[in-house]
Chain A
Amino acid sequence: MRELTYLEAVREAMSQEMRQNEDVFILGEDIGVYGGAFGVTRGMIEEFGPERIRNTPISEAAISGTAVGAALTGMRPILELQFSDFMTIAMDNMVNQAAKIRYMYGGKGKVPMVLRTPAGSGTGAAAQHSQSLEAWMAHVPGLKVVQPSTAYDAKGLLKAAIDEDNPVIFYEHKLCYKTKSDVPEELYSIPLGQADIKRQGSDVTIVATAIMVHKSLEAALELEKEGISVEVIDPRTLVPLDTDTIIESVKKTSRLVVVHEAVKRGGFGGEIASVIAESEAFDYLDAPIKRLGGKAVPIPYNPELEKSAIPSVEDIVAAVKETLNHR
């Protein structure tokens, strides 16, 4: 099978969807000739034209609301937000409008829109262009939240997100954009709410999201050298969350480490830990659950400081060993 980068996979999912569904269009800042801040929409305006690859002014509040209005009246907009940090400006429309309209209207009306946005640190862009705010969105009833870690997942999940009749926040980790995996040429869908076991193991379960999936797999390879067998689960979607897969894994391994890049305090790791603490898997635990997340600090510019603000492979290795050494 051919390999695609994550970025190409995202683009391919959108292009293939747009070829088969006239209602799908993209709006966002600089997505036209420029090709988007990260080049995701590069070349799309040539095929689909400026009506459907719709360049917007720098107006996150307006374009997010416009997507809501278009979705409510029969279109399936994909909104590209240049950086997930700008969610703060689009927040009202996503949280107060998109997420609630169906419920507030007594089940009438639907908002089938996808807000795609690059998240995460590692590019030296500092505190206003590097955040991981997915826990905010996962907290809001009415939104679905997707965080693919591989090119294969990105294509299939984006297809599912576009087909959703509900608003979906689709987080693309910037450092994942250049990663590659086998991606089928045909359009396929990965259902939201289905975790993926990225690596089978028997001694400890790691639940990791986005770029931390890659770091966890790296850590698992290191640990394997010492005879430690690590299972790595990628939930892929935070809402809906596939709790069954996580619970079953913990029942098998009896140990859980949760890893995400977002700030640990109030982060989604707390939710995953609670799922286990409230489930029958609790009785299987042989060690306290370990959570790894970003430090409670704005992401700094200096590369060494930036790296140290979030969990590293070494941190994950250490956390796994700590749970294994617990008695």
Chain B
Amino acid sequence: MTSLINLPAHLKRDDLTDLLKQMWQIRFFEEKVDEFFAKGMIHGTTHLAVGQEASAVGSIAVLEERDKITSTHRGHGHCIAKGAEVNRMMAELFGRTTGYCKGKGGSMHIADVEKGNLGANGIVGGGFAIAAGAALTSQMKNEGYVVLCFFGDGASNEGSFHEALNLASIWKLPVVFVCENNQYGMSGPAKEMMNIEDVAARAESYGIPGKVVDGNDVFDVMNGVSEAVDRARTGQGPSIVEAKTYRWKGHSKSDAKKYRTREEEQKWRAKDPIARLRDALIQEGLLTEEGATEIKAAAKKEIEDSVEFSKQSPMPTIDDLMEDIYA
């Protein structure tokens, strides 16, 4: 029987179950956030990555600890995959002082600079040049780290995309641009907003490689990103890796999703990246049904605990308002 999984050679069994656990953490985190918004328990807005777990987890799984990421407005999954504590993430959404941004950043600004998460970003395309700059530091200081820049299909139509990719290309910066093509820029279908099938095709105009991977297959993502990371780390410059995926939820909480059909949603739900990984691991004999259930339950509990942690965390006081504007 041919293997169901196209496994990167260096991966161990423990790593595999970690992938599954992280993907479940993302799923449960997002579902919890969705629920709290619906109940009015947390305010602002949020952009959920349900359905996109494989691209976040698969991309970051091939990084080393020292590597850095920049994220997007749909960044919860990237943060979790980069090792963020879900307690502090949830607390941030609750606006508490224990949150990653002491309650001042909210969903779109979760960052952990010391751990290499240079931040989610409320500006579409805001991360391109910042990623290039972080990669420039790596190159100038000979630090050896790679920067992984997440972006969406919509962001590839921003001017900053072109400018930063050109710059990264001519300077051979150690950066990998990972497009999570979830088919929509807010309500705009990718196929109506650009006249090409693949964002990765744009790589050609910067003289860099562009590769399309199945964004719902965590292993395909890992293999594609791994190749690009190796290239970046060995001084050969940037690449684009485009993960084709789908956001199950709307753009943000106010989205009635009138621009797409239920059939289309069902088609993508059938490609659930988590079920796919779980089933593959079981069929390959790398995981038992019970093992899978345990991992799932553990992930769920962590998210439940993060809610309790957040509810018990203190609110900022008015004295905190003017803190941290300047270093």
Q: Does A106 contact B (CB under 8 A)?
A: yes
Check if A66 sits within 8 Å of B327, measured CB to CB. no
Check if B133 sits within 8 Å of A142, measured CB to CB. no
From A61, A108, A165, give the contact of B129 (CB < 8 A).
A61
Q: Does B164 contact A (CB under 8 A)?
A: yes
Check if A105 sits within 8 Å of B101, measured CB to CB. yes
Given A65-B160, A105-B105, A106-B324, answer yes or no on A92-B167 (Cβ-Cβ < 8 Å). no
Interface string of A86-113 (1 = CB under 8 A from B): 0000001100110001111111111010
Given A102-B324, A106-B104, A106-B105, answer yes or no on A71-B133 (Cβ-Cβ < 8 Å). yes
For the complex, what is the distance from the CA of A112 to the CA of B325, rounded to whole Å? Answer: 13
A-B contact pairs, 16 of them (CB 8 A): A57-B167, A59-B164, A66-B130, A70-B133, A70-B134, A71-B133, A72-B130, A72-B133, A72-B134, A74-B141, A75-B137, A97-B121, A103-B325, A104-B111, A104-B119, A109-B118
Check if A69 sits within 8 Å of B101, measured CB to CB. no
Given A59-B166, A70-B134, answer yes or no on A109-B113 (Cβ-Cβ < 8 Å). yes
Q: Does A302 contact B (CB under 8 A)?
A: no
Q: How far is the CB of A78 from chain B (nearest CB, A)?
A: 13
Given A104-B101, A104-B109, answer yes or no on A97-B136 (Cβ-Cβ < 8 Å). no
Give the interface of A toward B (CB within 8 A). Answer: 25, 51, 56-57, 59, 61-75, 77, 92-93, 96-97, 101-110, 112, 141-142, 144, 165-166
Report the count of interface residues on B (CB-CB < 8 A): 45
Check if B123 sits within 8 Å of A64, measured CB to CB. no
Check if B137 sits within 8 Å of A65, measured CB to CB. no
Check if B111 sits within 8 Å of A166, measured CB to CB. no
User: In chain B, residues 63-119, which have Cβ atoms closer than 8 Å to a Cβ of chain A?
Assistant: 68, 70, 99-105, 109, 111-114, 118-119
Residue of A nearest to B123 (CB): A96
From A51, A65, A74, A96, give the contact of B132 (CB < 8 A).
A65
Check if B129 sits within 8 Å of A69, measured CB to CB. yes
Check if A65 sits within 8 Å of B164, measured CB to CB. yes
- Quick one: which of A68, A92, A104, A106 has the most chain B CB within 10 A? A106
Check if B163 sits within 8 Å of A59, measured CB to CB. yes
Q: How far is the CB of B305 from chain A (nearest CB, A)?
A: 21
